[in-house]
Every structure is written in structure tokens, then in C-alpha cells.
Amino acid sequence: MTDQGGGAATEPSPARFHRLLRETGVYAVTDDTLDVERMLEIARSLVEAGIRLFQYRDKRSSDQERVETAASLVALIRSAGGLVIVNDRVDIAIAAGAAGVAVVGALFRPDDPGAAARGLLQAVREARVDRGTERRAR
């Protein structure tokens, strides 16, 4: 993955994520009990306070609502030079333009869950490219 803006265009998102975490020491996770406007208002306040890393977590909304909300959060955080990752949902992360996805559980090998997640994200991105250019795997 490459940078989403606000930093060196060649710095991979994982490296940038770790750098931002070292610099700020804080990683914000959204609260899906808040309405969207309130969540974005809080995120805006956190950005103003210097927070640059956010994890979008939503177990309640429809997929369409999740994509729309995550995309709004990505736009806000990206404009401040930060990164957003999406909890559990690679599809939502890609559709919203997030920097990555946080996935835990039995889907990935416990010895290298990061590599498994990156592989899944790459596979989904490639499928999206194929679909977008009308090349479909049969």
C-alpha cells in the first residue's frame, strides 16, 4: 500500500502508520453507537489535537452506510495527513479509500497475520481492477 496523502508518496502505509504512531502515541477507534455527524465532529476535534491514526469500526450500519461514513472519515483524516484503517472489512476499506484493514481471527495464520491481510487486500484490489476494466475472471 502507498501513502494516501499528507506525507511522502513513496512511504508505504504500514511504515507510515508505525511512524505516525511513534510520533503521536495515540490511535483513535471510532464508536459505532454515535451518529455519523457526532463521530465526524469528534474525529475533527481529535485531528485538531494532533491525532493522525484512526480505526473505523462499525458493526451496526448497512454496508452502504459504512462505505459512505468511512469515506467521509478518510477524507477528513487524509486532509490532515493521517491514515484510516477499517476494522474487519477489506471490502469497506477499499471502497472507502482507507489505508488498510485491521483483521483478527481465524482467517489468517497466527504466525503472520499481517502478510495474510496484505495478501487478501491485494487480491481484492486486483479483482476490483479487473472488474473496473471489464476483464472478468471466468
Contacts 24+ apart (CB under 8 A), 69-75: 69/36, 69/39, 70/95, 70/96, 70/98, 71/95, 71/96, 71/97, 72/36, 72/40, 73/30, 73/39, 73/40, 73/43, 74/4, 74/98
Condensed to tens digits (0 to 9), the pLDDT of residues 40-83 reads 999 999 999 999 999 999 999 999 999 999 999 999 999 999 99
Mean pLDDT, all residues of the chain: 77
Residue 69: per-residue pLDDT: 98
Domain borders along the chain are 13-103+111-132
Residue 94: per-residue pLDDT: 86
Q: How far apart are CA 95 and CA 82, in angstroms?
A: 18
Alpha helices of 6-137 — where are they, by DSSP H?
Answer: 13-24, 36-48, 63-79, 90-96, 113-132
Condensed to tens digits (0 to 9), the pLDDT of residues 73-115 reads 999 999 999 999 888 888 898 899 988 887 764 333 334 556 6
The predicted model scores a pTM of: 0.70
Residue 130: per-residue pLDDT: 45
Residue 2: per-residue pLDDT: 36
CATH class, domain 13-103+111-132, is alpha beta
